[in-house]
Amino acid sequence: MSEFTVQAAGPVASWTVSWESPGATAVTTAWGMTCGIRSSTVTCRGDGWAGSLAAGQTVRVGLQVAAPAAPSAPRLSVDAD
């Protein structure tokens, strides 16, 4: 299980986070996000109660990924609109 906190500096209509996770085969559970895997890249988009954020708002989201091991030092790529 992995959890992380998303905090908005300004209003955010939508956000996406992605990272490389070699060997990952499926996202088995996610909360606050819709996630998928393509070519070893996990991509999650804020969804439902965590989809849009007001300035200064913080949400805690998470997921479980089926993989032989967790990435040792994942680099997160974040996009927000």
Percentage of the chain beyond pLDDT 70 is 100
Contact criterion met (CB below 8 Å) for 69 and 22: no
Q: Is the pLDDT of residue 15 over 90?
A: yes
Mean pLDDT within 22-45: 96
Total-model pTM: 0.91
DSSP code of residue 9: S
